[in-house]
Amino acid sequence: MLTAVILAAGSARRMGRLKQLLPWQGEKTILETVVRTVLACPEIDDEVRVVLGTGREKVVPVLEAIADPRLVIVDNWDYQRGMLSSIQAGIAALPPASEGFALFLGDQPLLVQDLVASLVRQWRQNCPDFLVPVCRGRRGHPVFVSKKYLPEIFAMKDADGGLRNLLRRHSDLVVCCQVDSPSIYIDLDYPAEYRKYRPNGEGSK
């Protein structure tokens, strides 16, 4: 089984406002779009965990409106420490049947279900320790990690560089999966990116 972890705890200082709740398409927010895309993949057959920090009280009602028993809200009260703290919070006490986790970013609404499902199938087919999607020479998310690395991740400190350095440390075990979609590395950090990528030009309004 595979657990999904969606990181959505950041303060979004570069965006200047709570980007998790920015409108994306129709009535859906950026984070809701990501969550629904992941939930729509039956290939992800374990929990879908969303790690929250900044603006938690505003984000929770949006997520609670999504009726899916796999959806789990995880609080990271130390989110100001950075992404590693959110990863550690998201993978704590994984269900015993989970073979690993897929790490998503909460500000990648361009990801589509078919791409995510294809990556999951690739991971299941070969069961690599790490699987990373690559497009045009650039790595992106979701990143798949075997549960055997949980103790190593929990032992990491903020100064250790997070998951990126973990992959460097085990570079010979990383399987790169070539994909055609740049959505794996397009995240929305700045207002200009939001305006550029929002569907139908709605971001310019």
Q: How many CB atoms lie within 10 A of CB 22?
A: 19
Domain ranges in the chain?
Answer: 2-204
Kindly tell me the burial class for residue 27, based on how many C-beta atoms sit within 10 Å of its own C-beta (0-12, 13-18, 19 or more): exposed
Give the residue, 203 or 133, on which the prediction is more confident.
Answer: 133
| Assigned token pair, 195 | 């305006």
- Tell me the mean pLDDT in the region 2-18: 92
Fold of the domain built from segment(s) 2-204: Spore Coat Polysaccharide Biosynthesis Protein SpsA; Chain A (3.90.550)
- Contact 62/69 with Cβ under 8 angstroms? no
Per-residue pLDDT at 189 exceeds 50: yes
Tell me if the bond preceding 95 is cis, omega within 30° of 0: no
| pLDDT tens digits along 50-94 | 999 999 999 999 999 998 999 999 999 999 999 999 999 999 999
Per-residue pLDDT at 204 exceeds 50: no
Number of H helices, E strands in the chain: 7, 10
- Contact 109/32 with Cβ under 8 angstroms? no
- Contact 134/58 with Cβ under 8 angstroms? no
Identity of the amino acid at 32: E
C-alpha distances in Å from residue 100, one per residue of 79, 123, 148, 149, 181 = 22, 10, 8, 9, 24
Per-residue pLDDT at 205: 40
The continuous run of DSSP H or E covering 200 comes out as: none
pTM of the model: 0.95
For 19, what's the count of Cα atoms within 13 Å in the CB-facing half-sphere? Answer: 27
Confidence category of residue 202, pLDDT binned at 50, 70, 90: low
| pLDDT tens digits along 129-156 | 999 999 999 999 999 999 999 999 999 9
- Tell me the mean pLDDT in the region 84-105: 95
- Contact 132/40 with Cβ under 8 angstroms? no
| Assigned token pair, 90 | 């998201």
- Contact 158/96 with Cβ under 8 angstroms? no
Q: How many CB atoms lie within 10 A of CB 1?
A: 13
Per-residue pLDDT at 201: 57
Per-residue pLDDT at 130: 98
Kindly tell me the burial class for residue 100, based on how many C-beta atoms sit within 10 Å of its own C-beta (0-12, 13-18, 19 or more): buried
